[in-house]
Amino acid sequence: MIEPIVKQIRHFVKKKGYAPARHLEGLDLFIPPQPNKFYRFDGAVESIPCHLITLLDEFGFEVQNREEVIESGEGATGHCRNLSFISKGDLIEISVPFYRAICPEIDMYNKGHEDMHAIQHLKLSQAYPLLNGRLRNQGYSLDLQLVPGRENQASIAGLLNILQNGISPKEVFECPEIKEVWDYMCRNKR
C-alpha cells in the first residue's frame, strides 16, 4: 500500500479509547503502562485503506491521495498506524493496529503481527521478555530483539499467536514470507 500524503487540517484532541499501553489485545499481552505511549486496538475492519483514511482524519489529517491509497491497499490484510505528536512539550506516541477479517487462522496471525508493530513503535521493551518466554514455552530458543528485521519480528509474533491458539502454522503458508519465517523458527527449535 502506498503511503498517504497528508495535510494537517486540525490538531488532534485525545478521545476515548486511547489509553496508556497496558493490554495489547492482539497478543493478549499485559504490560505496565508507559507515560505518553498510547494504544488502541481497532480489530477487524472492512477495508484497510478506508479505515486508515478514517483514522488519519480522526487525528486531524486530510489524505491528499485518497484514491491511490484505496486502490493500492485493497489487498492488504493488516496495518498498524503509528503516530508521534508533540503535546505540551512532551512526545506522545500512539499505535493503532487493525486487520481485515479473512478466516480465523489468518486473523489470529494478523492480530499478533500488527501488535508487534505497536510494540516496536512504542518501544515497549518490557514486552520482549514476555514474548520470549512464550516462545520458550512453545519450544523455540529465540530472542525477538535479536531477530533481524521488524517484519521478521512481527511475523514471528503472528506465528506465535496462532501456535498459542492451537492453530497449525501451515494454515497461513499461502504467504511465502510467513513460510520463510516459520522455517527460521524451526531452525531455532529446542
Pair 186, 159: CB distance under 8 Å: no
pLDDT in the model for residue 30:
92
Q: Which residue range is the domain that position 38 belongs to?
A: 6-187
pLDDT in the model for residue 18:
65
Domain assignment of residue 1, yes or no: no
Residue 106: C-alpha distances to residues 50, 66, 170 (Å): 20, 27, 11
Beta bridge partners of 93: 37, 84
Domain assignment of residue 62, yes or no: yes
Q: Is 30 helix (H, G, I), strand (E, B) or coil?
A: strand
Which amino acid is it at 164? Q
pLDDT in the model for residue 148:
94
Domain assignment of residue 10, yes or no: yes
Nearest to 34 by CA among 48, 45, 24: 24
Provide the whole-model pTM: 0.91
Domain assignment of residue 122, yes or no: yes
Domain assignment of residue 47, yes or no: yes
Backbone angles phi, psi at 46, to 5 degrees: -70, -45
Rounded Cα distance, 97 and 111, in Å: 8
As averages over each run of 10 residues, the pLDDT of the chain (190 residues) reads 84 64 89 88 95 92 93 93 84 93 93 96 95 96 95 96 93 86 93
pLDDT in the model for residue 6:
86
Rounded Cα distance, 18 and 66, in Å: 25
Pair 19, 38: CB distance under 8 Å: yes
Q: Is 6 helix (H, G, I), strand (E, B) or coil?
A: strand
pLDDT in the model for residue 15:
54
Domain assignment of residue 65, yes or no: yes
The DSSP-derived string for 78-92 is: EEEEEEEEEETTEEE
pLDDT in the model for residue 36:
87
| Residues 6 or more apart in contact with residue 135 via CB below 8 angstroms | 141, 142, 144, 156, 160
Total domains in the fold of the chain:
1
